[in-house]
Amino acid sequence: MGLFDKISSQFIDIIEWLDESNNTLVYRVPTYQQEIKMGAQLTVRENQVAIFINEGKAADLFGPGRYELSTQNLPVLTTLRSWKYGFNSPFKAEVYFFNTRTFTELKWGTANPVMMRDSDFGMVRISAFGMYAMKVSDAKILFNTIVGTQGLTTTEDIITQLRSTIVSRFSDALGESGISAIDLAARYDELGLELKQKVQADFGEFGLELTRFVIENISLPPEVEAAIDQRSKLGVLGGHMQQYTQMQAAEAIGKAAENPGGIAGAGVGLGAGVAMGQAMGQAFQGMGQQAPPPPAGGAPPPPPAGGTQWTIAVEGKTYGPYAESALKQMVASGQVASDAMAWKPGAAGWAPLSTFAEFGGGAAMPPPPPPMK
């Protein structure tokens, strides 16, 4: 390289930015050990603005167009450099380009669950995520608040800063809304609009405009979702605790039948199902239903109110009462053996289910006659 070439390489005569990534928010023109020639050509394309920086402070801003740099179109820099009578020598300055197009499909989400007080479940942890869109509204403010002050220049660094702001505002909005966990799914739009207004104020302080904000999902911990599912089942049954307990017991028998012990171990599973049904019933309705005690001395348990209902005995323990239709389903699915001992109001005593006419059998054999006196 000759002396002239070396001297020429120290001066910048063309300043422009070709954004090949189409995803860069801020670009700093490399000017290390170089000076900008007075009269250099500056090209600012559509969806771009350029800012000249003097000693860390934003000076002159250029919108889309082609410029020949002079003291006339660098008024702020001219004042800062005290070029009162014009200046034609090369000068040093930093140049930043800002992409002003709308950045869409930006992701936000809670890195850790957010605690909230719920009217139904007490303290619960909430996780959420969604999307938003934004654009640069004031490049000078963006430089002064984030790029120049915090030293953030890459798109990922800036978006990470914004994501933290969104999550903080989400926590505040969720707590102030008073919306219960069960109703959150139906209030995404309302909560998203309120959250957008809060976040827009913060973005405005950074020289950014929030053009779109969407909440895609708000999720609860698995144990809370399981409790909601149980509550939904109770609602389907019309709040009848007896039917709810029967459903829990039937599910427990089904799980027990899948174990290696088969239906022989159903006593444990059935007992657990009844206990679960009673516990859930007390939690949601403040009332429970106890299974009838084992018969004493072979005497049948007292008949339940409300029509024909069945009680079954498994390994010396009684469970029920069950509606006839529910018990038939349990027998048909293999959850209860057809020869399980059962009793219904009006029956003379315990007998296998298969001997009752309702379950395809003949009439039960009458008990032996009383002894003659």
| Residue-wise pLDDT tens digits, 61-112 | 999 999 999 888 888 888 877 776 566 778 888 999 999 999 998 999 988 8
Choosing from 152, 186, 220, the residue where a domain stops is 220
- pTM of the predicted structure, to 2 decimals: 0.58
| Residue 241 in domain | yes
Number of domains the chain is built from: 3
pLDDT tens readout for residues 43-75: 999 999 999 998 888 999 999 999 999 888 888
Q: Strands 35-44, 11-15: parallel, antiparallel or unpaired by DSSP?
A: parallel
Same-domain status, 79 and 108? no
- 1 or 360: which leads in pLDDT: 360
CATH code, domain with 128:
3.30.479.30
In this structure, the number of other CB atoms found within 10 A of the CB of residue 119 comes to: 11
Is 90 exceeded by the pLDDT of residue 345? no
pLDDT tens readout for residues 280-311: 444 444 333 444 444 444 444 444 444 568 88
Is 90 exceeded by the pLDDT of residue 172? no
Same-domain status, 311 and 333? yes
| Residue 85 in domain | yes
Q: 183-187, 288-292, 304-308, 325-329: which range is least confident on average?
A: 288-292
| pLDDT score of 181 | 78
Choosing from 99, 127, 158, the residue where a domain stops is 99
Same-domain status, 242 and 354? yes
Choosing from 220, 246, 274, the residue where a domain stops is 220
| Residue 254 in domain | yes
Is 70 exceeded by the pLDDT of residue 180? yes
| pLDDT score of 99 | 95
Same-domain status, 345 and 247? yes
Same-domain status, 111 and 211? yes
Which range in 35-49, 222-236, 238-252 is most confidently predicted, on average pLDDT? 35-49
Cβ contact 100:51 at 8 Å: no
Same-domain status, 229 and 353? yes
| Residue 364 in domain | no
Same-domain status, 95 and 197? no
Is 90 exceeded by the pLDDT of residue 124? no
Cβ contact 152:146 at 8 Å: yes
| Residue 365 in domain | no
Is 90 exceeded by the pLDDT of residue 12? no
Compute the average pLDDT of residues 143-162.
Answer: 88
How many percent of the chain have pLDDT more than 70?
71
Handedness of CA 139, 143, 144, 147 (dihedral sign): positive
| pLDDT score of 220 | 81
Structural domain including 82 reads 3-99
Beta bridge pairs of residue 178: none
| Residue 368 in domain | no
Give the CB-side neighbour count of residue 65, counting CA atoms within 13 A: 7
Contacts of range 82-88, beta carbons closer than 8 Å, 24 or more positions apart: 87/38, 88/38, 88/39
Tokens found for residue 280:
């859930």
* Distance (Å, whole) CA 210 – CA 201: 9
| pLDDT score of 201 | 92
| Residue 373 in domain | no
Closest CA to 116 of 194, 177, 174: 174
Three-state DSSP class for residue 360: coil
Distance (Å) of CA 26 to CA 37, 144, 145, 155: 23, 13, 13, 7
Q: How far apart are the first and last CA of the chain?
A: 136
| Residue 372 in domain | no
